[in-house]
Amino acid sequence: MLTPPELRLFADLSVDVAAPQKVGSTPYGQRRLIPILGGSVVGDGWTARILPGGADAQRVVSDSLTEMDARYCLETDGGDLLYVHNRAIRSGPPALMARLVRGEPVDPALIYFRCSPRLESAALALRWVNERLFVGSGARHPDKVVMRFFSVQ
């Protein structure tokens, strides 16, 4: 009999973001690009900073669903780099989703925000992240995104 996977806390992230670049409605949905300015990461016994230069490419699929595809880099306190490719969905009642799109605060408990980050590193100490699955949850605030990543055991 197979046992269900367990989750182990990997890190808490606080990602500072700039105002959205609104591409507009394309044949594939409303497109927005959110520049990543930096931020901080706290793991179990380690910390990192989020390097500026990444971005979150978003597609507003409907008035209740947004798909996100963020790519950015972390630099650990030991100087190692981690590449993050984080795909996520955020959904909720249309009125609350409209407030998020306008950059207004919304109680995170009222929004479904789940992610599946893929981590990569060339550092020997972090090689294990290349061979694991990660999942997480998040919350959007007007000037930042907070997330909690878990490794799937």
Decide if 53 is inside a domain.
yes
Decide if 75 is inside a domain.
yes
Which pair of structure tokens corresponds to residue 57?
């490419």
pLDDT at position 44 over 90: no
Decide if 86 is inside a domain.
yes
| Count of structural domains within the chain | 1
Per the CB < 8 A criterion, the answer to whether 69 and 29 are in contact is no
Q: Which domain holds residue 113?
A: 7-152
Letter for the amino acid at 122?
Answer: A
CATH number of the domain bearing residue 59: 2.40.160.20
Per the CB < 8 A criterion, the answer to whether 98 and 116 are in contact is no
pLDDT at position 103 over 90: no
User: In this predicted model, what pLDDT tens digit does every residue of 111-151 receive, in sequence order?
Assistant: 999 999 999 999 999 999 999 999 999 999 999 999 999 99
What is the average pLDDT score of the chain?
Answer: 96
pLDDT-above-90 percentage for the chain: 92
The model carries a pTM of 0.94
Decide if 2 is inside a domain.
no
Decide if 16 is inside a domain.
yes
| CA–CA separation, 22 and 70 (whole Å) | 16
Decide if 1 is inside a domain.
no
